[in-house]
Amino acid sequence: MLPGTEPNNYEWRLSAITLSSGADSVQLGGYFNIYNQQTSRSKNLSERTFIFTDRALYRPGQIIYFKGIMLESSNGGRSNNVLKARSTTVTLNDANGQKVASIQLTTNEFGSFSGKFNAPEGLLGGQMRISNESGSAGFSVEEYKRPKFYVEFDTLKGSYALSEQVKVKGFAKAYAGNNIDGAAVKYRVVRQARFPYYWCFYRFGMPSSPSKEITSGIATTKVDGSFDIEFNAMPDKSIDPKALPVFTYTVYADITDINGETRSGNVGVQAGYTSLQIETNIAEDSKPEELKNVNIRTENLNGIFTPAQVKVSVSRLEFPGFLRKRLWETPDQFAMTEAAFKVAFPNDEYKEESNYLNWKKGKLLHEASFTTTANGNVSIPESTWYQNGWYVIEISTKDAQGHDILEKKYTHVWAPGKKEANQKDILAYTDKSSYEPGQEAELWLATAVDNPYLLRTSTQPYAVTNPIRLKITEEDRGGLAYAWMYVYNNRVYRTEKTANVPWSNKQLQVEWAT
């Protein structure tokens, strides 16, 4: 813990920290904010007002109904009480911040007040505000007309191939139920690229593909209010197909009826070098029990579920040992051979060996083939993750055209009680994602080196054990925050962890009754 000049009185900001051991020292520059729990929970009182309006948009001259609730907060915002019989001045300000009107109100026994203003007429429209001494609410005042019709597009259910003609069907429909025929349609189609499979390009960086308008034109709505837009799904040929780009063709349509009213709509069409994509929810950091059931779905590029025969394989990656990362970019030409480099610098990486994406696959631990389902539920034996470390999950299939599709997910699995060397420089692990008062939290800390000298900060003092056991109390609502840092071979490693303790006792319970 950082010492203070007085008990529970720390400097709020440090510009540098120097760590020393014997004749060795390192200075960490930057700014460090020190959180003092005692000070943060001071008894200083503050007032807040929450103001609500009945609508977000008004026409000039309409009545603006508002309501406010006044609170007095203390103990760092953890204690709140309504302010009864409190007099307050509520002011209406226009779009230029000028006072338009004000009213004097007094809160009732529930700390609330209510009133009304007339939206100003003859002034510049825009964002206006209602405020008092400790709160405000914004709203818009505009001259507007209610729309008489809207634009929508047919749901896209098919798969589309690159370099082929695509037809998109849309409709102009009146809110009264009739069709809008004979209306002018101006449209344009804009192409953008995305790259869902990062492992295809991470070595060289994400390719660049700026958005481009590929076509535009005019059309007219038919008797049934429909209109058709056709375009060629041209790919960006400057992108290597091996990067597996997916192109989004956004169709924008502006429709003007015979009365001069204009409404707009848009729809996106997806196309790529493959017609199928694999979606999965596997996170980068996992616990063994979280991977017993994972979600794997196959969809066409427009997000519609498409069943497919897939194969899933799980392998553990071979850990090369804990190495210092380069402080500079990897050179394209090496002055030393790898063998000579390892002799001179045994603790440093030679060619990005510390990046798990470059590690070799180890033994195959699990393999299964199945047909995907709409819910995507897939079971993997928990025994697959019997060791801590990095794993790669490979999911492969073929689309209707016979193209191979491969998705790779890398996940770091960690559980307490295992003997393997830690493959991350430092990590913190909690047994649950959320806690309630009365429960006990377990917080584990693991480092890549044995027994480093840890600098720690926290919102609550704790006994230095592993695991750290914390008795959660009502005072902990809002969450507990912890951070650790250590220095090894002149490199700084840090992590932080939050124990979530929600304000579940403040949740409103709404019930319908007859």
Domain boundary among 240, 256, 273: 273
Confidence of residue 14 (pLDDT cuts 50, 70, 90): low
Neighbours of 417 (CB within 10 A): 6
Confidence grade of residue 4 (pLDDT, cut at 50, 70, 90): very low
What mean pLDDT is reported for the chain? 89
Q: Which residue is associated with the tokens 């083939």? A: 369
Residue 13 in domain: no
Q: Say which CATH number the domain at 239 has.
A: 2.60.40.10
User: DSSP character for 179?
Assistant: B
Instruction: Quick: pLDDT tens for 85-104.
Output: 999 999 999 999 999 999 99
Give the whole-angstrom CA distance, residue 266 versus residue 254.
Answer: 9
Question: Residue 412: what pLDDT?
Answer: 95
Kindly state whether residues 376 and 259 are assigned to the same domain.
Answer: no
255 and 175 in one domain? Answer: yes
Per-residue pLDDT, averaged over 263-268, amounts to 94
The pLDDT of residue 241 is 87
Indicate if the alpha-carbon torsion angle 216, 222, 224, 230 is positive or negative: negative
Same-domain pairing of 499 and 402: no
Q: How many Å from the N-terminal Cα to the C-terminal Cα in the chain?
A: 58
Residue 360 DSSP label: P
pLDDT of residue 202: 66
Q: Are residues 228 and 255 in the same domain?
A: yes
Q: Please say whether the beta carbons of 250 and 192 come within 8 A.
A: yes
Domain residues for the domain of 176 are 149-273
- pLDDT, one tens digit per residue, over 214-233 is 999 999 999 999 999 999 99
Residues 290 and 409 in one domain: yes
- For the chain, count helices (H), then strands (E): 2, 32
Residue 496 covered by a domain: yes
What are φ and ψ of residue 110, in 5° steps? -100, 10
Same domain, yes or no, for 399 and 294?
yes
Are residue 129 and residue 171 in the same domain, yes or no?
A: no
* 325 is a domain residue: no
Q: Do 47 and 84 meet the contact criterion of CB atoms below 8 Å apart?
A: no
Residues 171 and 223 in one domain: yes
Residue 33, pLDDT score: 57
- Structural domains of the chain, count: 4
pLDDT, position 9: 45
pLDDT of residue 337: 94
- 95 and 109 Cβ atoms separated by less than 8 Å: no
- Kindly state whether residue 345 falls inside one of the protein's structural domains: no
- The pLDDT assigned to 255 comes to 96
For residues 272 and 192, give the distance between their C-alpha atoms in angstroms, rounded to a whole number: 11
Q: How many Å apart are CA 347 and CA 324, to the nearest integer?
A: 6
Which structure tokens are listed for 428? 């913190």
- Whether 24 maps to a domain, the answer reads no
Residue 122 located in a structural domain: yes
| pLDDT at residue 76 in the model | 67
Closest CA to 407 of 111, 105, 200, 221: 200
Percent of the chain with pLDDT over 90: 68
In the beta sheet, which residues pair with residue 413?
Answer: 286, 389
pLDDT of residue 207: 84
Q: From 491, 469, 489, select the one nearest 480 (Cα to Cα).
A: 469
Place of tokens 């008990």: 7
In this structure, the answer to whether residues 170 and 215 fall within a common structural domain is yes
Site of tokens 């779009």: 95
Q: What is the mean pLDDT of residues 446-461?
A: 90
Would you state the pLDDT for residue 22? 84
pTM exceeds cut of 0.75: no
Rounded percentage of the chain residues whose pLDDT exceeds 70: 93
Quote the CA–CA distance of 485 and 501 in Å, as a whole number. 24
Say how far apart CA 421 and CA 446 lie, in whole Å: 10
Domain boundary among 95, 121, 141: 141
Q: How confident is the model at residue 12 (pLDDT cuts 50, 70, 90)?
A: low
Of 122-131, 191-200, 291-300, 309-318, which gets the smallest average pLDDT?
191-200
Give 8's pLDDT tier (boundaries 50, 70, 90).
Answer: very low
Per-residue model confidence as pLDDT tens digits over 124-175:
999 999 999 999 999 999 988 889 999 999 987 777 888 889 999 999 999 9
Alpha helix ranges (H) inside 43-100: none
Residues 363-373 have a mean pLDDT of 95
pLDDT of the residue at 75 = 74
Domain boundary among 82, 112, 141: 141
Query: Among residues 199, 271, 266, which one has the least CA distance to residue 236?
Result: 271
Confidence (pLDDT) at 155: 81
CA 235 to CA 241: how far, in whole Å?
Answer: 10
309 and 420 Cβ atoms separated by less than 8 Å: no
What average pLDDT score do residues 36-57 get? Answer: 76
Query: What is the C-alpha to C-alpha distance for residues 12 and 91, in angstroms, rounded to an integer?
Result: 37
Q: What is the pLDDT of residue 11?
A: 44
The whole-angstrom separation of Cα 88 and Cα 75 is: 24
**Residue 201 lies inside a defined structural domain of this protein:** yes
Residues with Cβ within 8 Å of 225's Cβ and at least 6 positions away in sequence, in order, are 171, 172, 173, 179, 180, 181
**Is residue 218, in this structure, part of any structural domain at all?**
yes
Residues 154 and 282 in one domain: no
Predicted local distance difference test score (pLDDT) of residue 146: 84
Q: Is the pLDDT of residue 119 over 90?
A: yes
286 and 268 fall within a common domain: no
Mean pLDDT to the nearest integer, 101-118: 96
Q: Does 269 share its domain with 281?
A: no
Question: Which residues, 6 or more positions from 329, have their beta carbon under 8 angstroms from its beta carbon?
Answer: none
The DSSP secondary structure of 287-335, one letter per residue, reads -GGGGSEEEEEEEETTS-B---EEEEEEEEEPP----BPPSSPPPSS-S
DSSP run (H or E) holding 271 = strand 262-272
User: What's the pLDDT score for residue 312?
Assistant: 96
Distance CA 429, CA 499 (A): 10
